[in-house]
């Protein structure tokens, strides 16, 4: 391929045959800074969703909040259980990525794109019925996967800990390896989490040593990419999680960490 790429993920410099616009900040912000004079102000809020989705909402340009003050308003869900009413409130800008993400994870990225093009405001994103339905589907699947490790005897104690890494494998028809990895990462802050979704041949790595592992494993033939804290990729047809773990043990021995 010899086209133009705008990206912030890891690229093997010696293999680049295309024009690359690269920076350390998320791709959405790179695009925004390059073309903000051409982007209608009524749509500048879209960059907030991009940055939230990349885990860096602190990089949302100040002028975007000024142009769209509703981004700082709260949106709340109200639940009642056993006679107790609870309210969960979040800033609107923090809710923009998950709906689009969920539809992509269910295998419909182009539908997510088409829906997003029809959204005139941030509220249009979080209230679109297809986005809501897909979020519920993905949330239920993540809950199922995580609960299996405590309830299903066939997978109990199947999680592995190798030095600074927690590793799990599971099967799902949805691309949720990164969601599962992020959920586990929030529970084990001192470890880097590696998740394999063997059904979809996905790999997701979350944690402080993600980028270190990326630089060690790519030369060994693993198809992963990303940036500090967030790495993902795929297993080739002939590759299995156990092979990845053997290579992980090898690089840990060689690096003596």
Question: β-strand 160-162 against 192-197: which pairing, if any?
Answer: unpaired
Pinpoint the alpha helices (H) of the chain.
27-35, 46-53, 62-67, 97-105, 109-118, 122-126, 129-151, 177-187, 210-217, 241-255
74 occurs within a structural domain? no
Q: CB-based contacts of 218: which residues, under 8 Å, 6+ apart?
A: 10, 12, 224, 225
120 occurs within a structural domain? yes
Domain end point (choices 133, 154, 175):
154
**8 or 131: which carries more pLDDT confidence?**
131
What's the CATH number where 248 sits? 3.10.310.30
- CA dist., res. 232 & res. 109, Å (int): 17
Tell how many helices (H) and how many strands (E) occur in the chain.
10, 10
173 occurs within a structural domain? yes
Residue 14 pLDDT more than 90? Answer: no
32 occurs within a structural domain? yes
Residue 150 pLDDT more than 80? Answer: no
pLDDT at 11: 77
pLDDT at 160: 92
Do 207 and 140 share a structural domain?
A: no
Residue 175 pLDDT more than 70? Answer: yes
| Lowest-confidence region among 133-137, 180-184, 224-228, 250-254 | 224-228
**30 or 149: which carries more pLDDT confidence?**
30
Residue 73 pLDDT more than 90? Answer: yes
The residue behind tokens 């599971």 is 170
How many Cα neighbours within 13 Å face the side chain of 247? 16
Q: CB-based contacts of 147: which residues, under 8 Å, 6+ apart?
A: none
The string of DSSP letters for 163-192 reads TTEEEEEE--SS--HHHHHHHHHHH-TTSE
pLDDT at 158: 79
Computed from CA positions of residues 7, 10, 13, 14, in that sequence, does the dihedral angle turn out positive or negative? negative
At 206-221, the pLDDT tens digits run: 999 999 999 999 999 9
- CA dist., res. 216 & res. 209, Å (int): 11
Domain enclosing residue 107, as ranges: 96-154
85 occurs within a structural domain? no
pLDDT at 145: 93
Residue 154: pLDDT band (50, 70, 90) is low
Do 236 and 197 share a structural domain?
A: yes
At 133-146, the pLDDT tens digits run: 999 999 999 999 99
Residue 59 pLDDT more than 70? Answer: yes
Q: Pull the structure tokens for residue 181.
A: 């990895």
- CB neighbourhood size of 116 (10 A): 18
Residue 156: pLDDT band (50, 70, 90) is low
Average of per-residue pLDDT across 75-87: 89
pLDDT at 153: 61
- CA dist., res. 157 & res. 86, Å (int): 35
Structural domain count, the chain: 3
**145 or 14: which carries more pLDDT confidence?**
145
3-state secondary structure of 21: strand
pLDDT at 149: 77
- CA dist., res. 53 & res. 178, Å (int): 12
Asked if residues 177 and 197 have their Cβ atoms less than 8 Å apart, the reply is: yes
Do 239 and 180 share a structural domain?
A: yes
The residue behind tokens 């609107």 is 92
53 occurs within a structural domain? yes
- CA dist., res. 98 & res. 103, Å (int): 9
Do 217 and 190 share a structural domain?
A: yes
pTM of the predicted structure, to 2 decimals: 0.87
pLDDT at 155: 60
């Amino acid at each position: 391929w010899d086209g133009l790429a705008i990206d912030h993920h890891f690229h093997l410099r010696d293999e680049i045959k295309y024009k690359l616009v690269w920076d350390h900040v998320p791709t959405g912000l790179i695009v925004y800074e390059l073309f903000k004079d051409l982007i209608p102000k009524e749509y500048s809020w879209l960059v907030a969703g991009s940055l939230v989705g990349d885990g860096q909402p602190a990089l949302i340009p100040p002028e975007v909040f000024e142009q769209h003050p509703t981004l700082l308003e709260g949106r709340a869900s109200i639940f009642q259980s056993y006679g107790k009413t609870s309210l969960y409130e979040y800033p609107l800008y923090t809710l923009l990525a998950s709906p689009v993400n969920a539809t992509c994870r269910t295998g419909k990225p182009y539908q997510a794109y088409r829906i997003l093009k029809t959204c005139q405001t941030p509220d249009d994103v979080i209230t679109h019925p297809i986005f809501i339905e897909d979020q519920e589907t993905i949330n239920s699947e993540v809950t199922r996967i995580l609960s299996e490790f405590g309830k299903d005897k066939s997978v109990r104690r199947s999680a592995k800990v190798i030095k600074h890494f927690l590793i799990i494998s599971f099967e799902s028809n949805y691309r949720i390896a990164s969601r599962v990895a992020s959920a586990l990462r929030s529970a084990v802050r001192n470890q880097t989490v590696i998740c394999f979704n063997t059904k979809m041949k996905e790999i997701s790595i979350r944690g402080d040593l993600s980028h270190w592992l990326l630089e060690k494993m790519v030369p060994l033939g693993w198809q992963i990419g990303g940036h500090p804290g967030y790495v993902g990729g795929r297993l080739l047809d002939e590759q299995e999680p156990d092979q990845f773990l053997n290579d992980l043990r090898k690089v840990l021995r060689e690096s003596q960490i």
